Structure 1
Amino acid sequence: MKKRIVPAKFGMGMLVVAAGLVASGCSSEGKQKEGGVVQTASADSLRSDQKDSAVVETNPTQTQQVEDSTHTFGTILPNKRIIAYYGNPLSKRMGILGELPPEQMLARLDEEVKAWEEADPATPVQPALHVIMLTAQGKPLKSNTYSLRMSGHVADSVISWAKTRNAIVFLDIQIGKSTFEKEIPHLEKYLKLPQVHLGIDPEFAMKKGGIPGGKIGTVDAEDINYATGYLSDLATKHNLPPKILVVHRFTQGMVTNYKNIKIRPNVQIVMHMDGWGDKPLKRDSYRAYIKKEPVQFTGFKIFYKNDTKKPGWKLFTPEELLKLDPVPHYIQYQ
């Protein structure tokens, strides 16, 4: 009997806010959904010194300008392996990036980088911070898009942390009922920086209807081509090294018409296996949705909590992930 591949990440990425842009409360265990857990951010998960300055619906161009990194960032893949920490600094429940204070988080990232360097000395490691800048919502909010833009303060903070580790940065968007054409340009001032890249999450792209967290969303090759085209134009116009686009995926329907995805010389595409569960399940998902529908480069996500939530479940080690075929070039920890 063929094992059913569970859409294991479902609902994990939502920072839910109520009227007045204050996070709504929920139980610490979240709400059980088929194939995963919907976890929303409680008011306690927002740091008090950031509630007013960061959780606002505003255009990032209203914030202070970010200086270009003093480091040179050239073509990264496949010469290096990216080790990324994911989340939102306003929530302790969306990933390791916001779960710990910055210095503790960065110190733990250092440990993961060292582990990968020891496991594969032949491949240099590129540390990264992957921050959710547009968070899916269970309610329409004022924009009626079921998504919430973070202020530029969030990006500024994460970029400044990354500089202390010579790390690159990914800005991730969960568009809800908005569009990539509307949302990606809001990040342009950051995407013009040589060390800043983009992530898109089809799980929360509700182009076929529904509410984020209520069903799994989808994107088409056409959407991905818009994103890579936008990044390609920026790279050309500003003489930047190749940009990277990370596309989350853990079900068949999250990405359609993959054969029509365009490969561009100055954009590198990572198809990222983004589900949680036990090791056989995650391997199955990687083979079914990443290996069997190849695009360019591959990624694999580790969930510190959800991948160990049941007896007998253990985290993949770097040595185990190096045995995957193809070997992933992007590893994300949540």
Structure 2
Amino acid sequence: MTDFAYASRLKAVVLPALGLFLTALLPSCGTRTDAEGNATAEAAEAAAAKPAVVDTVALKREAMRRDSLKADSIVKASGQLPGSILPGKRIIAFYGNIRSKGMGILGREPKEQMLAKFRKVQKEWQAADPSIPVQPALHNVTITAQGSPGKDGKYRLMNSKATIEEVIKWARENNCILFLDVQVGWSDLESELPKLEQYLKSPDIHLGIDPEFALKTKKVKPNRKIGTYDAKDVNYAINFLARIVAENKLPPKVLIVHRFTQGMITNYKNIKLDPRVQVVMHMDGWGNPILKKDSYRDYIVKEPVQYTGFKLFYEYDPRPAPHHMMTPKEVLAELDPKPLYIQYQ
């Protein structure tokens, strides 16, 4: 009950009773007291009739809590929510930015050449592990860390609406899900993720967050130092996606969290999972396969969250010799647990 409603009810109960008490004590003032008592009762009734102030934030929070409890019960009964991608499929993704040749395979080659290569990779993975279907994905860096501060000094830039709509079209034409990736620079997830909400309301669009370019100190430009996220940042992203799933009655979202050093994620034990969001901790390092496998073991397996991912680099893994880009069979044979998200850059 709000303070306002409580006060109204108090007036309605106490003041009329007080009027009767005064009538008993002062009979000569009966007419005036009755009039005042009636006026007071009418005022109290009018006040009580006014609608109480509604705390919409609290109501929304309670609705989300009920949705989460319902989701938890479904997961306990069946193992996952309807429409979940993981662990029933292995996601194979091509990463980059369709407007940039330097960010990854997604934009490095002409569209049709890139898609032909991608289809070949999907077949390789399906042949390497026929037991689990391949789910193709495009992974587009949509909010990108920058070397210059920009007008607001945040060192990041969002793709244009036209670019986002184009990559959505690419994905849907090729039966892919789409990940929109975020590099916040000197900004933060609370400021950047709402910009993507209109797109994340679609069931086939998911999210990636990259702590490498999250510079909390505001003293170093992006790409000069490896950034970091704390569990509370990951939890914000999880809760943000969970709300979108609940409000729009969507299947669970997949959240990719990049990582290749100890410090990129802090307090991992405090990450709070939600059945409406499937979290992939993604080993994002490049180079010698031995070092990549060590990083996977030390930063992904030893600090488990939910599902695991592994990145392969067309340009940086094969050099210098004897380095090479691991094949699907090598990844599956040499990594435990076997990653369910594979990204090619």
Counterpart-to-counterpart distance in 1, 2:293 and 2:311: 11
Aligned partner of 2:159 among 150, 154, 157: 150
Instruction: Give 1:333's aligned residue.
Output: 344
Cα deviation digits, residues 250-294 of structure 1 (max 9, x gap):
000000000000110110000000010111000000001000000
Instruction: Give 1:99's aligned residue.
Output: 108
Counterpart-to-counterpart distance in 2, 1:304 and 1:276: 10
Does 1:312 find its partner at 2:315? no
Does 1:207 find its partner at 2:216? yes
Equivalent AA in structure 2 for residue 328 of structure 1 = P
Instruction: Give 2:270's aligned residue.
Output: 260
Counterpart-to-counterpart distance in 1, 2:83 and 2:94: 21
Deviation (angstroms), 1:74:
2.2
Aligned partner of 2:197 among 182, 188, 209: 188
Counterpart-to-counterpart distance in 2, 1:225 and 1:75: 19
SS of residue matched to 2:320: coil
- Higher deviation after alignment, 315-324 or 295-304: 315-324
Counterpart-to-counterpart distance in 1, 2:157 and 2:180: 14
Map 1:115-264 to 2 at 5 A: 115-209=124-218, 210-264=220-274
Q: CA RMSD in A?
A: 0.9
Greater than 6 Å deviation, 4+ residue runs: none
Instruction: Give 2:78's aligned residue.
Output: none
Counterpart-to-counterpart distance in 1, 2:247 and 2:255: 18
Instruction: Give 2:304's aligned residue.
Output: 294
Deviation (angstroms), 1:154:
1.6
Does 1:88 find its partner at 2:88? no
Does 1:272 find its partner at 2:282? yes
Identify unmatched segments of 5+ residues in structure 2. 1-81
SS of residue matched to 1:138: coil
- Higher deviation after alignment, 151-160 or 167-176: 151-160
SS of residue matched to 2:197: helix
Aligned partner of 1:321 among 311, 331, 339: 331
Deviation (angstroms), 1:85:
0.3
Provide TM-score, normalisation by structure 2. Answer: 0.75
Which structure has greater helix proportion? Answer: 2
Instruction: Give 1:64's aligned residue.
Output: none
Counterpart-to-counterpart distance in 2, 1:163 and 1:133: 17
Cα deviation digits, residues 180-202 of structure 1 (max 9, x gap):
01100000111000000000000
Counterpart-to-counterpart distance in 2, 1:191 and 1:124: 24
Deviation (angstroms), 1:208:
2.5
Instruction: Give 1:79's aligned residue.
Output: 88
Equivalent AA in structure 2 for residue 193 of structure 1 = S
Map 1:41-56 to 2 at 5 A: none
Equivalent AA in structure 1 for residue 108 of structure 2 = E
Deviation (angstroms), 1:164:
1.9
Higher relative contact order (CA 8 A, sep 6+): 1
